[in-house]
Structure 1
Amino acid sequence: MIRWQPFPKEKTGEAALTNSQLTPGVVAGRLGAGEYARNFADIAPRFDPHEAHVAADRCYFCHDAPCITACPTTIDIPLFIRQIATGTPEAAAKTIWEQNILGGMCARVCPTEQLCEEACVRETAEGKPVEIGRLQRYATDSLMEKGVHPFTRAAPTAKRIAVVGAGPAGLAAAHRLAMKGHDVVIYDARPKAGGLNEYGIASYKAPGSYAQAEVEWLMKIGGISVENGRALGQGLTLDGLAHDHHAVVLAIGLRGVNALRAEGEGLGHVVDAIDFIAGLRQAGDKSGLAVGRDVVVIGGGMTAIDAAVQSRLLGAETVTIVYRRGREQMSASADEQEHATSVGVRIIHNAAPVRVIGNGSVAEVEFAYTETGPAGLRLTAETFRLKADQVMKAIGQTLIGAPEGLKVEGGKIAVTGAGRTSVPGVWAAGDCAAGGDDLTVTAVAEGRDAAEDIHASLMG
């Protein structure tokens, strides 16, 4: 992932609002025809070969490689950068995929500025790390575009494994299990595989159909089938899956959205940010997407940032993120916050919603300032209101649909070791599993590790 750069002047400020000042309410078509394509173009076009070589030459190839330690999937970063530097990006891609089979998408969405690049010696010494994320994208794109899948299946084991959920964790588990020679069936509730990568990230980070292209490429390992429109509680039970398969991996993510618990939350145009983002991801023509003139996003994570930035790119006149704690407590990285402000998003810290005001549809939101004391976060008596014709909730997600009999802790499925649940023969990985960060790269690592543990368990 690149360090964010502000959009060119003509894409921010008043010039980006062509029709929005004249059109109140939540409507589509706020911008001119060409502005949608420009606003949602790839924010970080991949390196050309010369740029990749220059970037790779900055790596010190450290013997202790703090970047590897900082990577949740422990990719051998110095090795793949050296392979790029020596003119073999295809070999670099295989080095990446050996640890992270979704390395192409992770190169686009992983918060490298908080992980490998933050640990880079160049960052410590100069304040400018090696651009690991962009180099990773260069390598993986180079080989994917050739249609080559560098892995082959082991001899068949006659073992059949169910994976519930086709997001990053489920796909990573399925690929590793298939590579070991097992037969894998992925069950997923949505029409397309991909999970968060397909439905939950900003469109400008992975424009076009990259998420689906990566899934199709991953499936070339063979031995994996996908059944869409299948979910626990909708024709599937954990008992039934366990009976019909030698092992089960639950990678069901977090589909529930926390409530604001504020008066008026049920008014019109108060929506879940994840649904807004999913609609953007699936829209072929973004000019048909409706957005408010005055948008308020409540939350402090990546979902809040993605929803706010894309509202602005769709032509919203004012977009404000409101977060209940301070800037340092926001789970969205400083780079992502700076990117949001560079496109005209305002961020207000230390405020929480107390009332949504309107007549049928939202018109204003009332907030109370917050402060942190010995008893934790509390609301103060000082309040303010923001004009809003659209409100997006991005205040965290919850686990829904956890099968009965599984131990749950902290609202997630309890696991030990490499994803073992309280039910023998059942593993859990990704956002639905307790522990770890809710990141794509972490989900991939957990899915991979669960697969290795399943293989060891089944094969003795």
Structure 2
Amino acid sequence: MAAGLFKEGIAPGRLPTTQYADNFSDLHPPLDRHEAVVEADRCYFCYDAPCMQACPTSIDIPLFIRQIATGNPLGSAKTILEQNILGGMCARVCPTETLCEEVCVREVAEGKPVQIGRLQRYATDVAMAQDKQFFPRAAPTGKKIAVVGAGPAGLACAHRLAVKGHDVTIYEAKPKAGGLNEYGIAAYKSVDGFAQAEVDYILAVGGITIQNGKAMGRDFTLAELTASHDAVFLGMGLAGVNALGGEGEEAQGVRDAVDFIAELRQASDLSSLPIGRRVVVLGGGMTAIDAAVQAKLLGAEEVTICYRRGKESMNASTYEQDLAAANGVTIRHWMQPKRIVGVNGVTVGIELEYTAVDGGRLVGTGETLTLAADQVFKAIGQSFDAAPLNGSGPSVVLEKGRIKVDEEGRTSMSKVWAGGDCVVDAREDLTVAAVAAGRDAAESIHRTLTANGRA
């Protein structure tokens, strides 16, 4: 074990420099042509394909797999991208084990599903490598649409509108487009700058302009957008992070897991990133898993995930939980944070309380445990910041702290649609669901701005 691993506190360079590249290499290396054809041949091409029903974007999975099996990866890519223009990233980050692959007939019969995600990656990688554009832009309609947020929902919406001939301007607060695909997922799931390569592929359709560093409520208002555009799509993510609400949360060494992941994703030198020797991650979702595994890959000696309920209640899939365990992460259930233990404002541990379900409610038992920790990551959920919405003009109706929309993504405000994590009942952490929301909202916007499909 590397000597640097035993540095006390939070420190960079815990591993030999050459080890970082190995640790953060591609989680699932791509299939080559032969492997893809062999795997595609395992598909039964079911008539009433349950995998297709389980896909939030309703990709015709049997068709795209058959196209791979018959040596037509470009045709396969077109089938995928027709429904999901971010099919390349979704192939990498989708929890296929709880979606299409979970209901695969091969999984039910044999316990080994067709590797749908890896086949999807194979086909879309071929198309992107050849810069093959399947959806030419229609004649200009003269209509202008504003999209707020260059995440999966915003990009999917913008692309579909651009294909139909509308002019789209995306306003993005961050320096780069991509949203969670660029800033919010584990680095080993998307290597070699793929998130930006996919953005470039999407923009190649034409008709889309991105203005980075532009935040609603600071640089412009929703009322200004509706006044200067024919329609507006809101695809903002979740900017807020829930607080622990316990003593010592401001101690040095406590930080939001999403910020840690974003910093890691943008780092040019992973050996320069400081990481604790003993790390505790609070939460039970994908963000908690991604933070914990990457902390271990950066050289943390001990990494523990603490979740307030049982294993079956974790939002992270069983596969992701197993991935964490395989990387040396300990997952402890039925405990919630009570206070951060600090010395002179520096984190040295965390006190947790055991929990139980009583009468259907989660309660603390009063029994506590203190774990040594010099770094604590909060992954206990994010919240939508609605303040920038109504800087001026009419209000957008909210429900449960997020934007209320109808089945087509329309908000209560004329000319304004919304989709992705910012809307009520959004499927959190699912890129594919955000893509579907953006795509469907674009179709609704197009119908509203045209008559009988013509501008």
TM-score, reference length from structure 2: 0.97
Q: What corresponds to 1:10 in structure 2?
A: none
Secondary structure (helix, strand or coil) at the match of 2:405 reads coil
Q: Which moved more, 1:132-141 or 1:428-437?
A: 428-437
Q: What corresponds to 1:204 in structure 2?
A: 188
1-side partners of 2:191 and 2:246: how far apart? 35
Q: What corresponds to 1:74 in structure 2?
A: 58
- Aligned 1:216-295 pairs, distance under 5 A: 216-295=200-279
Q: Which amino acid aligns with 1:453?
A: S
Q: What corresponds to 1:445 in structure 2?
A: 436
Q: What corresponds to 2:322 in structure 1?
A: 338
Q: Which amino acid aligns with 1:293?
A: R
Q: What corresponds to 1:194 in structure 2?
A: 178
Does 1:400 find its partner at 2:385? yes
Aligned-pair distance for 1:374? Answer: 1.4
Q: Which amino acid aligns with 2:380?
A: I
Secondary structure (helix, strand or coil) at the match of 2:11 reads coil
1:334-371 deviation digits (Å, cap 9, x = unpaired): 00000000010000001000010112111110000101
Secondary structure (helix, strand or coil) at the match of 1:185 reads strand
Q: What corresponds to 2:88 in structure 1?
A: 104
Q: What corresponds to 1:88 in structure 2?
A: 72
Q: What corresponds to 1:377 in structure 2?
A: 362
- Aligned 1:3-152 pairs, distance under 5 A: 15=1, 17-21=2-6, 23-152=7-136
Does 1:364 find its partner at 2:354? no
Secondary structure (helix, strand or coil) at the match of 1:321 reads strand
Q: What corresponds to 1:415 in structure 2?
A: 405
- CA contact under 8 A between 1:262 and 1:355: conserved in structure 2? yes
Change beyond 3 A, Cα 1:451–1:60: same
Aligned-pair distance for 1:234? Answer: 1.1
Aligned-pair distance for 1:18? Answer: 4.8
- CA contact under 8 A between 1:18 and 1:315: conserved in structure 2? no
2-side partners of 1:199 and 1:350: how far apart? 30
Pairing partner for 2:423 from 433, 442, 460: 433
Q: Which moved more, 1:374-383 or 1:203-212?
A: 374-383
Q: What corresponds to 1:388 in structure 2?
A: 373
RMSD of aligned residue pairs (Cα, Å): 0.8
1-side partners of 2:281 and 2:167: how far apart? 43
- Aligned 1:321-336 pairs, distance under 5 A: 321-336=305-320
- CA contact under 8 A between 1:198 and 1:212: conserved in structure 2? yes
- CA contact under 8 A between 1:66 and 1:119: conserved in structure 2? yes
* Structure 1 outlier segments of 4+, above 3 Å: none
1:187-233 deviation digits (Å, cap 9, x = unpaired): 00000000000000000000121100000011011000000010111
Secondary structure (helix, strand or coil) at the match of 2:174 reads coil
- CA contact under 8 A between 1:161 and 1:246: conserved in structure 2? yes
Structure 2 gaps of 5+ residues are none
- CA contact under 8 A between 2:173 and 2:213: conserved in structure 1? yes
Secondary structure (helix, strand or coil) at the match of 2:238 reads coil
Q: What corresponds to 1:457 in structure 2?
A: 448
- CA contact under 8 A between 1:413 and 1:433: conserved in structure 2? yes
Structure 1 gaps of 5+ residues are 1-14
1:29-64 deviation digits (Å, cap 9, x = unpaired): 000011001000111110011110111000000000
| Identical aligned residues as a percent | 61
Q: What corresponds to 1:11 in structure 2?
A: none
Secondary structure (helix, strand or coil) at the match of 2:102 reads helix
1:64-106 deviation digits (Å, cap 9, x = unpaired): 0010100000000000000000001011001000000000000
Secondary structure (helix, strand or coil) at the match of 1:336 reads helix
2-side partners of 1:209 and 1:401: how far apart? 31
Aligned-pair distance for 1:373? Answer: 1.6
Aligned-pair distance for 1:235? Answer: 1.4
Aligned-pair distance for 1:417? Answer: 1.5
2-side partners of 1:410 and 1:323: how far apart? 24
Secondary structure (helix, strand or coil) at the match of 2:252 reads coil
Count of residue pairs brought into register by the alignment: 444
Secondary structure (helix, strand or coil) at the match of 1:162 reads strand
2-side partners of 1:117 and 1:312: how far apart? 28
Q: What corresponds to 2:138 in structure 1?
A: 154
Aligned-pair distance for 1:375? Answer: 5.0
1:371-401 deviation digits (Å, cap 9, x = unpaired): 1121511111111011000000000000014
- CA contact under 8 A between 1:153 and 1:178: conserved in structure 2? yes
- CA contact under 8 A between 1:232 and 1:401: conserved in structure 2? no
2-side partners of 1:46 and 1:97: how far apart? 18
